[in-house]
Amino acid sequence: MTSHSEQAAEAGARTSGTTADTAETARPIEQPDAALFDGIREKAAQVVARYPQSRSALLPLLHLVQSVEGCVTQAGIAFCAEQLDLSTAEVSAVATFYTMYKRRPCGEHLVSVCTNALCATLGGDDVYARLKERLGVGHEETAGEPGTPGSITLEHAECLAACDLGPVLQVNYEYFDNQTPESALELVEALQRGERPTPTRGAPLTDFKQAELQLAGFFEGRDSDIAGPSASDETVRGARIAAERSWTAPPMPEDAELPPVPEKK
């Protein structure tokens, strides 16, 4: 039988171990390194100054911090919260809601393949499957070391708003229309070789971090990018034919009766 003294010793040892474990787990959480963003503090102030209410600057500010690390980390969230006098919970709620804000570092290029209904029917699923097989990665995974030359992050997108040109994909949010599995594969292999093919529409290709800087409103000597073609022939063909034939929509009658507005309850 175990004596009372032995039982007390065992209890003391268990208590001591528990205390040590508690001390270990009770260490303060390491604070994010805000120094990462010292180089963009002036830009952050410029973003905030654009808006009458500072919290309205959150979306472009998240793009700005993403241009530094290639994703939105806890440090980026803390930086945004500091600039806008918000809680980190408020910033996290936004950063985790929108899919454009990444939680893991992206590759040099982000390749987004539309797999929504129409693009999928026209071959978008086949495009995604071919790239997934070639790169050996799945949704929001990166082939290569994130941020290094030739690294590719692949994702399937719900809709890229180009149904008349499907299947479509984007590289760093610039459009490549009317894709096939073969053309998409050629595009990705060119990106891996360090080439930057010309998009069907939009600005000349840059890398993901530079694209994020542009989304925050800073073009860094690339102001001419905004003059890139934004519409395809297919999209504006109807409007062109209407202009050539002087077609116009009938005007709305001045006495047209509008439907009543439902009463708020």
Where residue 38 sits, what CATH number does that domain have?
1.10.10
Q: Do 154 and 122 share a domain, yes or no?
A: yes
> Residue 113: helix, strand or coil by DSSP?
strand
pLDDT value at position 148? 95
Cis geometry, peptide bond prior to residue 52 (ω within 30 degrees of 0): no
| DSSP per position, 248-262 | -PPPPPTTPPPPPPP
- Using the Cα atoms of residue 66, residue 68, residue 74 and residue 77 in order, give the sign of their dihedral: negative
Tell me what pLDDT residue 60 has.
97
With H, G, I as helix, E, B as strand and everything else as coil, classify residue 51: coil
**Amino acid letter for position 215:** L
Same domain for 197 and 117: yes
Last residue of a domain, one of 44, 69, 95: 95
- Same domain for 116 and 90? no
Domain tally, the chain? 2
Question: Does residue 62 fall inside a structural domain?
Answer: yes
Domain boundary among 95, 118, 140: 95
Residue 140 lies in a domain: yes
What CATH code is carried by the domain that includes residue 145? 3.40.30.10
* Side-chain-facing half-sphere of 246: CA atoms under 13 Å: 0
Domain boundary residue, one of 95, 118, 141: 95
Q: Is residue 195 part of a domain?
A: yes
Which residues constitute the domain of residue 155?
A: 109-207
Averaged over successive runs of 10 residues, the pLDDT of the chain (265 residues) comes to: 44 40 42 76 96 96 96 95 96 95 96 95 96 96 95 95 93 96 97 96 93 93 78 86 93 85 83
Q: Could you tell me if 186 and 127 lie in one domain?
A: yes
pTM, rounded to two decimals: 0.79
pLDDT at 36: 83
Give the tokens for residue 221.
Answer: 């000597």
Whether residues 56 and 125 fall in one domain: no
Please report whether residue 263 resides in a domain.
no
At residue 174, what are phi and psi to the nearest 5 degrees? -100, 145
Distance CA 122, CA 83 (A): 45
Burial class for 176, CB neighbours closer than 10 Å (0-12, 13-18, 19+)? buried
What pLDDT is attached to residue 29?
42
Structure tokens at 262: 């439902």
